[in-house]
Structure 1
Amino acid sequence: MGHRITRAALHLSVDEVKERMHTNAHPWVRHHWWIIYNALVAPRKAEEIALHTGTSATTVHRVVSIYNRLGPIALETPGKGGRRHQYLSLAEEKAFLFPFFAQAESGEIATVAQIQHAYETKVGHEVAESTIYRLLNRHGWRKLVPRPRHPQADPQEQERFTKNFEAQAQALIATRTVEDKRPVLIMAQDEGCFGRINRAKQCWAPPGARPHVPAQVVREYTYVYAVVAPAPGQIVSLILPEASTAMMNLFLEQVSQTFSTHFIVMQVDGAGWHRANELVIPENIRLIPQPAYSPELNPVEHIWDELREKYFHNRIFPSLELLIDVLCQGLNDLAYDTERLRSLTNFPHLKVII
């Protein structure tokens, strides 16, 4: 350890140094002024100043040396770090990306090639693909799977349905008899088809590994009828051989008996067997049809996605019976996990205050 005293030059008065130490907008600059303040009012060994200011002796030597040689400007000039050689400023980048928003919202930008071509035209020379990835990352863009929407869906009708759902539910509740004081349960119902046709899906794999998964086309199917009550996190389901009015009648009777102590308002889609003349609706159930081509409004669709991802992903089944066994396991797991079920299905429009 040396004995040399580290002393700051009198470029500024003590009061001026103290003011900059407290008022500069950048923490790293304020810290440098703190070092200069110590070297100015109490010159001593660099190791002692470093101990007092919470830095290294090397930093003290560097800061005091450059201040003594170049003056205050040396401390307040940005160093080598940061973004110094950008093609466009952040504001220019934002303006450049703006025309791509409409295409992005409609899911038309699948790769960065289109943006890269426009960017190269803008700056007048070629750039690396990684430049575009960093550009998109700086502005919060990310690559994700779009939410599917049927081309014939009516967004305005969908919005009206969600806004008016509570009013529809209240109107149906008013149709029960005066003596019926059972608590009301808001539910949503749907059917899902599960079969032995499977296609390879994306999966995780370590470096150097390319998974091989079996694929088959065997046209054997079964159907799951399910209804969820999002608020309490409950589900009732039946596995039936077909989608038809007769099967729907069986299912509604099962739901009615399971929740016999409740009055049920149930959202359904526009399938033919939900509005057939032969449909028998139990006395404690009322149906609310959702808009056409709008599966995204039905929370039971999330149940099908969950089952297919967690229990059927890249699997084949040698028989329909084995597939049904796995299907039963998945449905039972969901039935026992009320928090998970509530998280999957508690859509805002179903939070009706009775």
Structure 2
Amino acid sequence: MPRIAYLAPHFSSDQLKQKYLKTTEPVASRRWHLLWKVSLGWTLKNSASAVGINYDYAKQILKKYNQLGAEGVKNLKNKSRRGGNQPLLTAKQLEKLAQQLKLKAPDGGVWTGPKVARWIEQENGLEKVWNQRGWDYLKKLKYSYQSPRPKHRKANAQEQEQFKKKLPFKVKKLEEKYPIAEIDVWFFDEHRVGLKPILKKVWSPIGERPTAVVSHRYEWLYVYGFVKPKTGETLWYLIPRVNTLWLNLVYQNFAVDAGICEKKSLINRR
């Protein structure tokens, strides 16, 4: 098992994360990012790879942090420069990049640090922009590296919104029709357990979870799930196949587990 690097307890893992997210200076932000990864139990080598820095450089960062704490993380080179380096992009170009990131990358795929670096090269007619600078500008525009939330290719957002609007009216009509009964709303769906596509991480604005259209493949084991939106209560049943006999058995067990009776009505939305 790889050895976990020693990290001096100057800050907690949550504090390291906040410093990484709130630090605007790119070099220092990347260093805090590295230290936060190490605090989560990552090896130094894997942390350096995830952040995009050299392993030997990562060892230097860790050593200075252990010795000096926050002072060891600061980018002292900035202080030695008079006026600092000019940014690669002007404010207007930065806004242009922000708009471009909302579209697909030039190759039709998702945006990455190297692709942003190539965009900067083309925008400014530069011969070479380091890939890391693309990562810096993604961070500057408040993007983070996230795993997309799966979204089925057949999902219809318009129908979903219409259902959300109509459901309260359906429940209200039932309450008026059966004033004494207790109305429960459950959602039901079935799922075949099996292989799923591997979702890679992509750059996305902080606070916005991306989605990825997928086409699942399955083994022949079925999960029947019932969810009560009001409370979050869930009931699960595993069955080997789908037919009338097995479905009736699931409904019978569900009725018992959910406490369905004469005085308790049910709306089951599949």
TM-score of the two chains, using structure 2 as the length reference:
0.52
Q: Distance in 2 between matches of 1:185 and 1:241?
A: 28
Deviation at 1:158, TM superposition (A): 1.9
CA offsets 1:278-318 (integer angstroms, 9 cap, x no match): xxxxxxxxxxxxxxxxxxxxxxxxxxxxxxxxxxxxxxxxx
Q: Look up the match of 1:122.
A: 123
Alignment equivalent of 2:169, drawn from 164, 167, 170: 167
- What is aligned with 2:187? 188
Is residue 116–residue 135 contact of structure 2 (8 Å, CA) maintained in 1?
Answer: no
> In structure 2, do the counterparts of structure 1 residues 220 and 94 end up closer, same or farther at CA, with 3 Å as the change threshold?
closer
Cα deviation 1:179-223 (Å, max 9, x = unaligned): xx232222211223235x699899xxxxxxxxxxxxxxxx96332
Letter in 1 for 2:250: F
Shift of 1:232: 3.2
CA distance in 2, matches of 1:82, 1:165: 61
The alignment's C-alpha RMSD in Å is 3.4
- The structure-2 alpha-carbon separation of the partners of 1:201 and 1:120, relative to structure 1 and needing over 3 Å to count, comes to closer
Question: How far is the alpha carbon of 1:121 from its aligned partner?
Answer: 1.2
Identity of aligned residues (%): 21
Amino acid at match of 2:183: V
8 Å contact from structure 1 (residues 227, 237) kept in 2? yes
Distance 1:170 1:139, change over 3 A: same
Where does residue 43 of structure 2 map in the other structure? Answer: none
Q: Which residue is 1:260 aligned to?
A: 260
Identify unmatched segments of 5+ residues in structure 1. Answer: 1-77, 203-218, 269-354
Matches within 5 A, 1:242-257: 242-257=241-256
Cα 1:150/1:132, change in 2 over 3 Å: same
Q: Is the 8 A contact 1:172 1:265 kept in 2?
A: no
Query: How many pairs were matched up?
Result: 169
Q: Distance in 2 between matches of 1:118 and 1:250?
A: 59
In 1, the alpha carbon distance for the partners of 2:146 and 2:226 equals 29
Deviation at 1:123, TM superposition (A): 1.7
Q: Specify the code of the residue in structure 2 equivalent to 1:87.
A: L
Any runs of at least 4 consecutive aligned residues in structure 1 with deviations exceeding 6 A, and if so which? Answer: 197-202
Q: Which letter maps to 1:89?
A: T
Any conservation in 2 of the 1:222–1:239 contact (CA below 8 Å)? yes
**Paired amino acid for 2:125:** G
Structure 2 equivalent of residue 95 of structure 1: 96
Amino acid at match of 2:248: N
- Rounded to whole Å, the distance in 2 between the matches of 1:193 and 1:113 is 38
- 2:151 alignment partner, SS class: coil
Residue 131 in structure 1 maps to residue 133 in structure 2: yes
CA displacement at 1:86 relative to structure 2:
0.9
Alignment of 1:1-354 (within 5 A): 80=81, 84-103=85-104, 108-125=109-126, 126-174=128-176, 176=178, 181-194=180-193, 221-258=220-257, 259-261=259-261, 262-268=264-270
Segments of 5+ residues of structure 2 without an aligned counterpart are 1-78, 201-217
Deviation at 1:226, TM superposition (A): 2.0
Instruction: Give the Å deviation of 1:257.
Output: 2.7
